[in-house]
Chain A
């Protein structure tokens, strides 16, 4: 009988093979490697300030240049920095948080701010506002509001953003159509998209209309919010507005005005540069306002774009709000919070620093900085500034940051259990919303526990 011992050996072999492959996922140990890679030679200054951010190469170059300016101004401070792409950044920061060695200053996102604050990882900044380290005399309260939680300031807004519809002006003229009213509703939007598609034979619209941002917009416009205040359940009772919206999305897909969900997945990407509007295969799309710069770059010379606010449900208020594109926050594990605050203030108010940054993170919050930058802007940057200025007075108030279970709800419920089964025709929209409500509430309740 040779089978018994060999089965045992085989099981051991399998265990070694499988578990050694799974091991990295069980115990991430990214931090040391990233630390050593990020630091450019420790100087002999008495203070070492650590800063981390996510972004593209463009942002890294500009930010590093500003850090050098800061170091020249304060020779006793040596700034050590680390940066990464969006997804890696959060893995890196989570690992450092677990290890208790977060940097002094970290870039934060509106969607994660509450989670990080609720876990005690960020320090309130109000003391440094009171003692004058931060100078917010040229900053409106509405631009700071996004960084406030429970009355305390946890993040300084690095630029203001809002969503927008981008229309290819030449396609609109080719179809002989008027620029839509900025207060347009979804039914007007549907008409415009359909007409563009029928007259030009291209997609009327190329953004992913089923994106969760639109779900949020619908309820924001109706004066509600998608999550309840304590984050343990959905915050609205009536599924009908979103059902109406999803029915419109399905109509547009079925009519070929937009890509079907199937085609969206096959086209993939999701980056500005791969949007079909770049190659003229679509007449409209939606973007965050700072992305117009990247879109204009990708589309090349001689293209004209019109920026409009997001459409709203019938009878709703503005579906737009001013979103802080990202924050700088001081972590609770910071060793030099005072110097960290000085750096953030430099980033916010120093004209020279902002001439280097050139609003890459969105429209700056300081009015003085905005005025100084005005003459230096190129066409698309100017459009972005003008767009934000044009909606500033009419936008809806900023909704609360996403609750702790948000990512889980979107990744494990919204797409796989509700939106995709509906758009692939497996279930009705009513069924999709019923499942979504039940499963999302279960996830939210569990996360809050």
Chain B
């Protein structure tokens, strides 16, 4: 293999500069090989557990494979057709997921930015607060927190105890999804940290100059902080978008998709089809459509970025 690779590389370099160059290139390739060897545990795991399953799921998407039935085969685009024409729950899952994404992501980012601004001061104990506010996003995606959330919003839960009411938060189609959105907003830690880093990058002189010109805090926020922070917002938005469309654990444990499929998130429905109904082919097709949806949404955000993201180095 190395011979096949070296032959074309050698030809042009030999005609120009001669031997020394070739030797350097050879040792460079040798170094590469060593590098690949060093990361081979990762590479092997990547191929075994990520790359091959990705290919397998792509192929399965065009079959009716259901684990138990030995007589499965190709069904062409039937899975995709069924999704959009003959599966009312699929449409509900799309609605629930988009509603969640469009509510939870902006709210979480706004919340994260607000807290980041509060923590971007030199008060005492501020690093302690930072750690404290970051904690929910470490534990927030966990099963334990989801179970706790179920209890908090349960009929005998904390919220009803405080309100002195008997409201079925998790059973009412209007409120159930909001308990999940609140949980998502509460996990504002990682975008908050990134915002905090971004805020520290903004030169103090800008604020000093603005203050001398008589700008109040509000004006400083809109004219200095927000514009200079747009690359960070952009980054956070893309990351949150991707994870937002893949939300699973919370709905799986807290609501199970109920009531009336208002919290039947895409990944949850995919799981149900794959592991409850064992329709692996259909579920694989759903996974690839999810990929397409997230790619399109992300592409839209990227496209729009030239209108609102401001890179300091760019001349407008």
A interface with B by C-beta (< 8 Å): 3, 6-7, 10-11, 14-28, 91, 94-95, 97-98, 115-116, 119-121, 260-268, 407-408, 411-412, 416-417, 420-421, 424, 426, 442
Contact = CB atoms under 8 A, between A and B. Distances in A.
Interface in B222-270: 238, 242, 246, 255, 258-261, 264, 267, 270
B67 A95 contact: yes
A19 B291 contact: yes
B280 A26 contact: yes
A269 to B, nearest CB: 9
Interface residues of B, number: 58
Nearest to A421: B260
A116 B67 CA distance: 12
Best-surrounded residue of A97, A260, A262, A263 (most CB of chain B within 10 A): A262
23 contacts: A3-B303, A7-B299, A7-B302, A22-B270, A23-B50, A26-B57, A26-B287, A27-B56, A97-B68, A98-B67, A119-B70, A120-B70, A260-B168, A262-B171, A262-B259, A264-B171, A265-B170, A266-B153, A266-B155, A268-B154, A407-B277, A408-B277, A424-B173
A442 B88 CA distance: 13
B277 A411 contact: yes
A24 B264 CA distance: 20
A25 B271 contact: yes
Nearest to A263: B168
B290 interface: yes
Contacts of B264: 416
Nearest to A6: B302
Contacts of B172: 262, 266
A263 B171 contact: yes
Contacts of B52: 27
A420 B173 CA distance: 11
Contact of B168 (A11, A19, A265): A265
Given A3-B302, A98-B68, A26 B155 contact: no
B49 interface: yes
A25 B274 contact: yes
Contacts of A261: 171, 259
| Nearest 8 A/B pairs, CB to CB | A26-B57, A266-B171, A266-B168, A265-B171, A262-B171, A23-B53, A27-B53, A22-B287
B135 interface: no
Interface in B46-105: 49-50, 52-54, 56-57, 60, 67-70, 86, 88-89, 92
A402 to B, nearest CB: 14
A25 B252 CA distance: 14
Contact of A22 (B153, B173, B290): B290
Contact of A15 (B70, B277, B291): B291
Contacts of A97: 67-68
A27 B276 contact: no
A100 to B, nearest CB: 10
A26 B284 contact: yes
A268 B150 contact: yes
Contacts of B92: 416
Interface string B300-312: 0011011000000
Given A263-B155, A266-B168, A23 B49 contact: yes
A420 B277 CA distance: 20
Contacts of B56: 26-27
B259 A265 contact: yes
B248 to A, nearest CB: 9
A65 to B, nearest CB: 31
Contacts of B150: 268
B306 A3 contact: yes
A424 B302 contact: no
A186 to B, nearest CB: 25
A103 to B, nearest CB: 16
Contacts of B53: 23-24, 26-27
Given A7-B299, A417-B89, 11 more contacts: A24-B53, A26-B56, A26-B57, A26-B280, A26-B287, A119-B68, A260-B171, A262-B171, A263-B168, A416-B261, A424-B173
Given A26-B53, A26-B57, A268-B150, A94 B171 contact: no
Contacts of A268: 150, 154, 170
B220 interface: no
Contacts of B69: 119
B272 interface: yes
Nearest to B156: A267
B281 to A, nearest CB: 10
Contacts of B70: 119-120
Contact of B299 (A11, A22, A264, A407): A11
A327 B89 CA distance: 34
A152 B22 CA distance: 76
A343 to B, nearest CB: 24
B54 A19 contact: yes
Contact of A416 (B89, B170, B173, B287): B89
B120 interface: no
Contact of A420 (B170, B260, B287): B260
Nearest to A276: B155
B168 A424 contact: no
A368 to B, nearest CB: 37
Contacts of A115: 68
A426 B261 CA distance: 13
A277 to B, nearest CB: 15
B40 to A, nearest CB: 19
B28 interface: no
Contacts of B86: 442
B169 interface: yes
Given A261-B259, A265-B170, A424-B259, A19 B57 contact: yes
